[in-house]
Every structure is written in structure tokens, then in C-alpha cells.
Amino acid sequence: MLLKDITNFLESIAPTIYQEEYDNTGLIIGSFDKKVDSALICLDCTEDVIDEAICTKTNLIIAHHPIIFKGIKKLNNKNYVERIISKAIRNEISIYAIHTNLDNIFDGVNKKIAERLGLINGQILFPKNHLLKKLITFSPRNHTNQIRQALFDVGAGKIGNYDQCSFNTSGTGTFRGNAYSNPFIGSKGVQQNESEDKIEVIYPIAIENNILNALFKVHPYETIAYDIIPLDNHHPYVGSGFVGDLPNEMETLECLKMIKKNMATSVIKHTGFHKSKIKKIAICGGSGSFLLSKAIEVGADLFLSADFKYHEFFDADKRITIADIGHYESEQFTQDYLLEIITKKFPNFATRLTSYNTNPVKYLV
């Protein structure tokens, strides 16, 4: 199998265009056309994980956190990042990161946490905008059904729980081909008035190439008229964090105990119990303090996340209970999720979880 078979699959689930601006998701070391026969999954690509890959003759590491975030100007083995990069290159080990793009999709890191807590009515906490566009095209009337269906088949026209959504109006199109043209209808040099349908469909920008390829393939005209319009709409299924309800409200202490158990964490740092009962829980795996105001805004009783600084706990302002369960702890099951989807898609590809707990933070309990 080629590396790109795996990366194309992962990016069909979590397109890299969904990553945050500061992130460095994608293939960090390696080439897409390289043959790969096994993969090691981890949250953090540490030196231990590289050594494990070398010992087990694994030539691909799939990590949640990118080993390279910013530009590196020298490779002198002076710190762990430089040593890992050198070792990976020397041993022909590819490193791929699937990070905030996996955080930001609906079926991603945060929904998996919500499932572990048994939440219902789950939705994205802070949906992103500028991820949707509208395609408008004009079709000769007897080709309209075929063109519309071709667009639906590659994912256009999905809105919430509905698919095959479009708007269609009928009118008259005009065109005149020059001496070099070869018109599908009418004759060159003569203005043609043609009964046409205007088809409008919405689509996520992540699949724009597929949408346009489908249009170009099925539309009969030599030159196809179409408009692409960027939309300001929020994408309801792509964004930061997650929010959902407990099936039954719980006492705050009981809720924290449940979180501790279900998220397999030994310590939870939390604010005071400003609400005695918890029903709505907001979630952000990893560093999530940037979403605190959003969690308060949607009426969450508790915000489960990590990496809160001392002063940020004050921002709960007695309106929400913050539960900081630890960065690694909040994301640890991301590895299992990656293993599950890759194994399901490529059952004969040897994919394993690292045997190391890569959490750099230890607790004396």
C-alpha cells in the first residue's frame, strides 16, 4: 500500500482544510508515493515512539500532535524535536499528523468524549463559517436531472439531516459561438435562445474539486457557465468543541466522579460547584480555555477541557463549572478512534497503538 492511500482516506474523513491556522496537520516527514506496510498510532511522536517503530520495523507513525509546529532552521540534534526528525529520516519512517482537523469534525475527538460520558443531543459548540459555498449552473432542460444527480452523488446539497437539496428555476439562456466554437445546441455565429434550468446547490469547500469535476464531466456544453459563491453560513458539522446533555441531570460531584472514571483520569482540577446539578456539558479535548465563553453562552453547566491557567479558572465567574481533566487524559481515546477507523478501512494493514503512555505530565497522588 502507498502512504497516500492512508492519508487520502484520513483526509476524506478529516480534511486538512478544517485545521486551525496555527496547526501543521498532514504528512510531516515522508513522501506520499512511499510504500508502507504498517503503522503505529500515538498522541505524541516521542523518541520512545520512534524507537518503538524502529524495533518493530514500522515505517509510518500516525500522531495526533504534529512534531513540527513552527519553522525549523537547523537540524543539530540539540533538542528532542530535532533528534526525532533526524532519527525518522535516517530510518525512513514517515510521520503523519491528524490534529485540529480531527478535533473540528463532527465525528471527531470531542464527539468521542461525549460518547464516553453518554451525552445525547450532541452538536458542535462553535461551528465555523466560510467553509460552505454555493454552486449555480445552467443546464439545457433535458439534462437538468442528470446534472443535478451527478452533483448530489459527490456530496452537493447536504443540509443538516437532508440531502439532495437544490433550488431550480427555469428560464432562457442565450449564447453565440465564434468561428472556433463547436456548440452542443445551435450553430456557430448564430445567437441561440435555449430553454435552460438554473440549478443551485450548497457544498463544503473540502469537496470542491469533486463537485467541479462532476459538473465538467456530465454537463453537455462545450463551455459551461457556472458561478461559485462563498457563503458566510456556519457549517453546523465543523467547528471547535462539542456540547450535549446528560440523559438525566446529575449532582455536580457525582458528575465529576463519573467523568473521572469514564475518562480514566486520576485528577480533575475544577472550580467551585456553582450549580448543584449538571445537565448540559460542553467539551473540548486538549487546550480548550478559548471556548469557555462559548460554553457559558450556550448554557452549559460544566465545561470539560484541559490546560486552564490559574487566572482562567476565575473566568468561570460562577456561571459554569470548569473541569480540567488534563490534556493527555482528554485526548487519550483519540488513538483508539484512529485505530478503529483505519483497521475498518484497511483490515489487512498492520496498525497498532504505541505501547507508550506519552503523557509528559505525571501526578503524585
Site string for Zn ion, 106-135 (x = CB under 5 A): ------------------------------
Point out the residue whose Cβ comes nearest to Zn ion. Answer: 286
Q: Which is nearer to Zn ion, 252 or 332 (CB)?
A: 332
CB of 235 within 8 A of CB of 129? yes
Tell me which amino acid residue 213 is: N
CB-based burial label for 338 (10 Å; 0-12, 13-18, 19+) = buried
User: Cell for 337?
Assistant: 478512534
Handedness of CA 311, 316, 321, 322 (dihedral sign): negative
Q: How far is the CB of 9 from Zn ion (least distance, A)?
A: 22
Rounded distance between C-alpha atoms, residue 144 and residue 59, angstroms: 49
Shortest spacing between CB 22 and Zn ion, in angstroms: 12
Report in angstroms how near the CB of residue 334 gets to Zn ion at its nearest. Answer: 8
Q: Is residue 66 a contact point for Zn ion (CB under 5 A)? A: no
Among 275, 246, 307, 214, residue whose Cα is nearest residue 122: 246
Residues numbered 330 to 359 that lie near Zn ion (CB under 5 A) are 331
Three-class HEC string of 253-273? HHHHHHHHHHCCCCCCEECCC
Nearer Cβ to Zn ion (324/331): 331
Q: What are phi and psi of 112, to 5 degrees?
A: -65, -40
* One character per residue 278-317, x = contact with Zn ion (rule: CB under 5 A): --------x-------------------------------
88-96, 134-142, 185-193, 329-337 -> range binding Zn ion (CB under 5 A): 329-337
CB of 110 to Zn ion, least distance (A): 11
Find the helix packing angle between 252-262 and 109-117, rounded to 10°: 120
The residue (of 196 and 331) whose beta carbon lies closer to Zn ion is 331
Minimum distance, C-beta of residue 23 to Zn ion, in the bound complex (Å): 10
Nearest to Zn ion of 66, 127 (CB atom)? 66
Give me the least distance between CB of 64 and Zn ion, in Å please: 6
Minimum CB distance to Zn ion, residue 20 (Å): 11
Stretch that binds Zn ion, among 83-91, 169-177, 316-324, 326-334 (CB under 5 A): 326-334
148 in Cβ contact with 141 (< 8 Å): no
E strands within 78-191? 94-97, 120-129, 132-140, 167-175
Centroid of chain to Cα 132:
14
Binding-site ranges for Zn ion (CB under 5 A):
286, 331
